[in-house]
Structure 1
Amino acid sequence: METAEHIKYLVREGQLLAEAAEEAGEDAEVRTCPGWRVRDLLRHTGMVHRWATSFVVEGHTSYRPGSGEPDLDGEALLEWFRRGHDRLVTALTEAPDTLECWTFLPAPSPLAFWARRQAHETTVHRVDAESALGLVAGRSPVGPGLAADGVDELLCGFHGRDKSRVRTGRPGTLRVRATDTGDAWTVRLSAEAPRTTRSDDGPADCELSGPAEALYLTLWNRLPIGTPAVAVSGEDRLAHLWRETSAVTW
């Protein structure tokens, strides 16, 4: 997926997130993030947007922490979120292809990395905001192409790092297959960090198959393992291992 497409999705998903948050109200429970209210979601996502913007605009070449979450509520919080989202979109749109700055996952370029990462950060949290309206799977669809791209970022990016906690003393192979896009990934699980290839070669001990959107939401732990849209075959212990250990940390 090209950078321009990621930015297009970032625009849409940020607008949908704000609309859902406004409709639900800041005190509404975010069902997909136990313990969070809508205000927590807006503060977190708005902080991440500003954090990402700082790397793109200021060109920091090493890690820098975010500036923290604001003590805002109500209309002021919603407006703060929208301003930060707009600034991020502007920063990515105006950044040169030659941008040099810090990143933390493999990507063709820093600009491609930040556009992709923030598109998925915002999409997943848009689903969270819509869950506060009682719509656990999200009332707005995640397109198959974006969803498959997000599965790829999660499996090959986040869980391609040595810090992944998805580990097991009983090695096994997990296959993830998107039935609508034709994408497939083979994830080798062991006592070491997972190793993923973009293929469906060889046998698998467990397979998750279904539309890319359902896989995206399941693997990001926004839908439960066993949701009707995703078929689980083989050793379901590997699917449950994913559920229990795959929460992403920076």
Structure 2
Amino acid sequence: METAEFIHILDREGLLLASAAEQAGPDTKVPTCPDWQVRDLLKHTGTVHRWAAAFVAEGRSDRVPFPDRPDLDGGELLAWFREGHRLLVAALGSADPGLQCFQFLPAPSPLAFWARRQAHETAVHRFDAEAASGGTPEELGRDFAADGIDELLRGFHARPKSRVRTEEPRVLRVRASDTDGAVWTVRLTREPPAAEYGDAGDADCEVSGPAARLYLALWNRLPFPRVTGDVSVAGLWREKSAVG
């Protein structure tokens, strides 16, 4: 997918998130994030948006802490979220393709990284907001969802901080049933998961289903559409894969 596509998706997903949050109201529990109310969802995502926008707009090369969450609520909080989302979309849309700044996952360029990462960040939390509002969530595009699976498996969980580890080596297969070539083999050991494309040998467990549902399941937003083989391997993912 191209950077411009990710920016377009980020724009749409942020608008949908704000609309669902407004409909739900700030006190509403977020069923997909049990410790959160809608206000927490807005503060978290809005803070991430401003954090990301600063790297892009200012060309920051060093990692900086997240800014403090705002002491706002109700309509003021919603307006703050919408402003931060607009700032991020504008920063990405106007950035020089040769931008050099901090990034924390492999990508062709820092601009490509931030557009992709923020599109997926916002899409997952848009689903959270729509779950809170009680509506039927908008369907994610299958190519975008397959890309998000790849970012999660070969990006986030390749990092040393991943907790998906096991004393006994196991192999998890992840298969998006509606997307050609969207298959990953994930080797689980005492080290961070090692994921590669394709059916690379036998697997102890396979999780499969449409890319959009599988994407949200791997982010622990939905049950796995289908699990075959040793279900304890899928359970290990459920237990250990939360990204902080």
Describe how 1:27-176 pairs up with structure 2 within 5 A: 27-135=27-135, 139-176=137-174
Deviation at 1:67, TM superposition (A): 1.4
After superposition, the C-alpha distances for 1:141-192 in whole angstroms (9 at most, x for unaligned) are 1110111010000000000112110001111110000111120000000111
Amino acid at match of 1:57: A
Amino acid at match of 1:140: E
Name the counterpart of 2:176.
Answer: 178
Amino acid at match of 1:221: N
1:234 pairs with one of 221, 229, 235: 229
Distance 1:239 1:197 in 2: 17
Distance 1:170 1:179 in 2: 28
Name the counterpart of 1:200.
Answer: 199
Amino acid at match of 1:236: V
Name the counterpart of 2:9.
Answer: 9
Distance 1:164 1:67 in 2: 24
Distance 2:221 2:93 in 1: 29
Q: TM-score, structure 2 length as denominator?
A: 0.98
Amino acid at match of 1:187: V
Distance 1:246 1:28 in 2: 26
Deviation at 1:224, TM superposition (A): 2.4
Query: Which segments of 5 or more consecutive residues in structure 1 lack a partner in the other structure?
Result: none
Amino acid at match of 1:72: L
Query: Which segments of 5 or more consecutive residues in structure 2 lack a partner in the other structure?
Result: none
Which of structure 1's runs of 4+ aligned residues deviate more than 4 A? none
Distance 2:66 2:237 in 1: 28
- Secondary structure of residue in 2 paired with 1:200: coil
Q: TM-score, structure 1 length as denominator?
A: 0.95
After superposition, the C-alpha distances for 1:52-86 in whole angstroms (9 at most, x for unaligned) are 00000111111101211001011111000000000
Amino acid at match of 1:166: V
After superposition, the C-alpha distances for 1:91-145 in whole angstroms (9 at most, x for unaligned) are 000001100000100000000000000000000000000111235xx52111101
Distance 1:42 1:82 in 2: 9
Amino acid at match of 2:149: V
After superposition, the C-alpha distances for 1:192-218 in whole angstroms (9 at most, x for unaligned) are 110000111211110011100111010
- Secondary structure of residue in 1 paired with 2:221: coil
After superposition, the C-alpha distances for 1:15-42 in whole angstroms (9 at most, x for unaligned) are 0000000000011110000110000000
Distance 1:134 1:85 in 2: 23
Q: Are 1:21 and 2:21 an aligned pair? A: yes
Amino acid at match of 1:218: A
Identical pairs, percent? 62
- Secondary structure of residue in 1 paired with 2:121: helix
Distance 2:67 2:18 in 1: 21
Amino acid at match of 2:37: R
Amino acid at match of 1:205: D
